[in-house]
């Protein structure tokens, strides 16, 4: 029995690694555009910002450095009733560019979530001749060729919506422990070939950067149509795909980076608010959390038990020890490669069982919040 379990463990790990590698190939990386766009379209870049004093300056600096024609670029910062000095920081940039304005969001209507409301407010303040709307989170920092490259890609692929996944900047222990495991989990579980297909009704997107053709945005009802959604990015992308157009998520690691959280408090609250939706619902969350806990335990217990029994002279357990160690070593190697990618100390890769265990607890807490009927995010409570 020990031999069967150990070989099963090794086979599962190698299958997951191959699956993650295949998923990576289905998420093409967008490189900086090498040529100037002919007849560049008008774009309004909308930055919803609630209590983003620590991030907004870097975001606006990067937007003002864009090599996109300034007369074609309109930047709108929407202060979403911040309780810090977000509005003051945004206003300090107004004099640096005629294309930038900072507005205060109206009071949040009943049944609306904050981010869809801020995005909708910004969209209504855009210019009538803007062909594209670009929604960027305040924690995102882009290179100078970001807008030019995104527009060129959207045009060449005839996209209604182009979403870019930034390279994640990880600073705290919590971020370095949890976020790589979360991204690997998505690579293990998602079927990008299906959701990226124009023939599928499903979709994937990253709300940190979404470039939307204005006509498609309006046909889908814009953010008003997803006003009560916690995962408004996925809901909007799904509506756009269903209504009129091609939706694509691409890897934006060469063009933009982001730091979503700064420690345990912001990470736990931020991930638990919508992890149930990200994992596909209540049942899928329970199943995923259970499997993650089981596999995390197996990565440690199988080699340990086989090693102890082998040391006591049991030959079958000595045979089982080889695939058990091979499976755990392969899993560790994958996560060490992840630590290299995220530029964190390599020992974080060896802590993957802890990361997945904490992640499973996060998923269960997300379930608890949904069952309680209330989600709290940035000092607001949503049903």
Q: What is the DSSP letter of 136?
A: E
Tally the C-alpha atoms within 13 A of residue 380's C-alpha that lie toward its C-beta. Answer: 21
Across the 383 residues of the chain, what is the mean pLDDT of every consecutive 10-residue run? Answer: 84 90 84 86 97 95 94 95 94 88 94 94 95 97 96 94 96 95 87 83 91 96 93 93 90 95 90 84 89 91 88 82 91 94 94 94 88 75 71
Give the pLDDT score at 97. 81
What's the whole-model pTM score? Answer: 0.91
Residue count of the chain: 383
**Alpha-carbon distances, residue 325 vs 3, 9, 161, 219, 329 (angstroms):** 12, 10, 45, 54, 6
Give the pLDDT score at 220. 94
Distance CA 255, CA 164 (A): 9
User: Are 210 and 135 in contact, with CB atoms under 8 Å apart?
Assistant: yes
**Alpha-carbon distances, residue 112 vs 224, 229, 232, 278 (angstroms):** 9, 8, 11, 20
Four-residue CA torsion sign, 61, 62, 64, 67: positive
Which residues have C-beta within 8 Å of that of residue 383, sequence separation ≥ 6? 373, 374, 375
User: Are 39 and 11 in contact, with CB atoms under 8 Å apart?
Assistant: no
Give the pLDDT score at 208. 96
Q: Where are the beta strands (DSSP E) in 155-239?
A: 161-165, 167-168, 209-213
Give the pLDDT score at 86. 95
Give the pLDDT score at 27. 86
Give the pLDDT score at 318. 85
Task: Name 375's bridge partners.
Answer: 382
**Is residue 107 classed as helix, strand or coil in its secondary structure?**
coil
Give the pLDDT score at 95. 80
Give the pLDDT score at 250. 95
**Is residue 21 classed as helix, strand or coil in its secondary structure?**
helix
Give the pLDDT score at 307. 87
SS (H, E, C) 298-324: HHHHHHHHHHHHHHCCCHHHHHHHHHH
Give the pLDDT score at 51. 94
């Amino acid at each position: 029995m020990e031999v069967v379990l150990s070989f099963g463990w090794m086979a599962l790990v190698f299958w997951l690694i191959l699956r993650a590698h295949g998923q990576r190939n289905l998420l093409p990386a967008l490189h900086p555009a090498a040529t100037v766009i002919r007849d560049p379209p008008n774009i309004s870049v909308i930055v919803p910002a609630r209590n983003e004093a620590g991030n907004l300056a870097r975001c606006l600096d990067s937007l003002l450095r864009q090599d996109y024609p300034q007369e074609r670029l309109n930047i709108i910062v929407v202060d979403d009733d911040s309780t810090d000095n977000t509005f003051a920081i945004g206003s300090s940039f107004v004099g640096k560019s005629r294309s930038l304005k900072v507005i205060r969001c109206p009071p949040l209507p009943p049944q609306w979530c904050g981010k869809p409301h801020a995005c909708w407010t910004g969209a209504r303040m855009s210019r009538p001749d803007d062909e594209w709307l670009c929604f960027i989170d305040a924690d995102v920092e882009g290179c100078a060729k970001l807008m030019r490259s995104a527009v060129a890609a959207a045009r060449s692929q005839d996209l209604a919506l182009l979403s870019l996944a930034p390279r994640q900047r990880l600073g705290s222990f919590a971020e370095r422990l949890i976020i790589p495991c979360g991204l690997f989990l998505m690579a293990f579980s998602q079927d990008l070939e299906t959701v990226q297909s124009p023939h599928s009704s499903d979709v994937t997107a990253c709300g940190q950067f979404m470039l939307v053709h204005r006509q498609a945005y309006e046909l889908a009802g814009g953010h008003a149509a997803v006003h009560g959604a916690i995962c408004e990015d996925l809901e909007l992308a799904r509506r756009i795909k269903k209504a009129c157009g091609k939706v694509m998520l691409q890897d934006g690691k060469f063009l933009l980076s982001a730091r979503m959280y700064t420690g345990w408090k912001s990470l736990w609250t931020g991930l638990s608010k919508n992890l149930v939706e990200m994992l596909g619902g209540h049942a899928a969350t329970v199943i995923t959390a259970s499997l993650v806990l089981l596999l995390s335990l197996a990565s440690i217990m199988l080699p340990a038990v086989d090693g102890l029994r082998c040391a006591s002279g049991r030959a079958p357990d000595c045979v089982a020890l080889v695939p058990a160690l091979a499976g755990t070593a392969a899993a560790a190697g994958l996560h060490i490669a992840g630590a290299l990618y995220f530029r964190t100390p390599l020992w974080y890769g060896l802590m993957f069982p802890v990361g997945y265990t904490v992640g499973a607890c996060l998923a269960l807490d997300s379930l608890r919040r949904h069952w309680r009927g209330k989600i709290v995010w940035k000092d607001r409570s949503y049903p």
